[in-house]
Structure 1
Amino acid sequence: MIDPELTLAAGAQPQFDYADPTAARATIARLGATLAERRYWKDLEDAVSYQDVTIPNAEDGRLIPIRIYTPNSAATPRGAIVFYHGGGFMVGDLNVEHFRCLMWAQATGAVLVSCDYRLSPEHRYPAAVDDCMGCYLWVRASAADLKVDPARIVVAGVSAGGNLAASVSLLCRDHGIPPACLQMLIYPALDDRMTSQSMNTHTDQPGWRRIDTQHMWAHYLGPDVRDTQVYAAPARAGDVSGLPPAYVMTAELDPLRDEAIDYALCLMAAGVPVDLRNFSGAFHGFDVVKESRLSQYALDEQVFAINRAMANAGVAQPEGLEAKTSLQKVEA
């Protein structure tokens, strides 16, 4: 049963036909742009500065759009959050999770870097993973300019972004790259096989449906996929030892619930520290419903997990330094 305070929001959830990602993308982009233009989160925007820039991908030099959020009152050096938005690898941009990014930056005092990775089906796997890994590597390489402690970098994502955060964590381990101090996986999409109980019972819920998942994997992997790599679907990883600590959040009524829980249990069995939290009465994307106490509880818990990981990984923050970057703003 849906939590009573989420009932109204559940009925108002838009349903998109992800068979046509272009149309869904345009609608979501217009909504995000409207909210940003109206400064819907003015109080947070007054507390956090942000700028849109492009960075080069170290692999091929291709430019990746990012948004850098810097709390106005935070001390340095501070931690950093590398964030990947959701949208089934098909939709989403730098505006779609603007509220969460503002809130996390303000509440944690960390610099947050949101990555506008390439979308499918125009850019299938591994394009999004390449961009997200490039963004993570750039934050590590730019730690001094960003005034952040490289030991206190969190990699985080929601839905498809949770997949990308898990994939970046696997890539770092497998290529000897210094890991994040926490991988934060918020109702992540991890398994292209779609065989879990929740995937077969919660087929038509608010926020995300089984048919949306089918379109997601078809667009992301393409029609000719034969052997899905673990960096595309981390649930296929046979060895998850040596990965960074994880916070995994799921929602009871989400078709993606069980694959995320299974992945968290695999991490635990491999000796990886894991905080696993399932929210009863909640659906996919519930935690940005402003009117719900359950949503606020979930967001507060996310902030606690980030702060805890950074405190355990880093050193105390000295006072009085303002973070700056040498990057140029993207021309309009």
Structure 2
Amino acid sequence: MPAAAGKPSRSASAITPSTVRGYHLLKIDGYSLTKGVPTGDKIKSGSFTLGGHRWHIGYYPNGLQPQYADYISLNLHLDSNVTAAVKAQHKFSFADEVMNLPPSLVSTTVHTYSSLLGWGPISFMKRADLEKSEHLKDDSFTNRCDILVIMDYRAEDLPEDTPAFVTVAPSDLHQHLADLLKTEKGADVVFEVGGHTFAAHRCVLAARSPVFSAELFGGMKEGDTAGVVRIDEMEAQVFKALLCFAYTDSLPVTEKEDEDVMCQHLLVAADRYNMERLKTICEERLCKYINGGSVTTILTLAEQHHCEGLKKACLSFLGSPANLRALLDSDGFDHLSRSCPSVIKNLIAMSALV
């Protein structure tokens, strides 16, 4: 009887490129003065080194070719003679669009550079569009060129596949804690807020907030095992949302039209109980609600509760002369003067520039 065929052997490998990544910022200062450069002529950036090679960016204020005379063209060039071709990817963007985050180069083309051949967007942006955009400020703009240089390729052996006998489910700890809050099983403290009572667990709250920890277990301990802790100056719905976050690290769903008001109250509560993550979540959401009608309230809130990011967002909104003038002429400015005199210096300095 013939022997059964054995299991075929298997091996695998992967080809992985070795790369070097970086970016160069090119500021065009005095943009209007470069508009007289003839089409096809470039202004060179300073040289920079990446991947062992010298590079520069070519800025063509009136396009690289006649058919693109209404555009700004940009090119990435090798800055010196090379004996072999260099393979790289690049992506041009405005620096204020990407800030400190690298844009994705996954979908960009790998180009081969030589001492004579550069690559870049020949129609990066129409000059007329740039001049109407927010990218051009004080007659200048900054461009960022992200570059990935491919140094070489290497082959690596891959381990044999291991059959997946066990599948690990995603964490459901937050759901278990939410159920614990909902059922009140094992609750050992009761809070009275705005005429409503909420049962909770001392250990959970103490783990989530140093203020709760001090109040429930420390020298500031409030209430006994069967006692009730009274919370003043807070609405019941706000405290309920605070508890939800303490147990699940997420906020309950709120009607869209009520989200800004709830976030204002929750920010105050988060600051009161030193729950920094909740506080920054509220800050981030409130940034979306800054407008002419709300900026006074939100700026006051940011100043009183030391929310630097939210304060900067408000001052950025007031950086518009129209928005600042509207505030200075409103009753909100008088309220701001009384409640937060420290921010008035900022506004006076800004108004001097209007």
Fold in common (TM above 0.5) = no
- Report the TM-score, using the length of structure 2 for normalisation: 0.21
Structure with greater strand percent = 2
Higher relative contact order (CA 8 A, sep 6+): 1
Higher Cα Rg: structure 1 or 2? Answer: 2
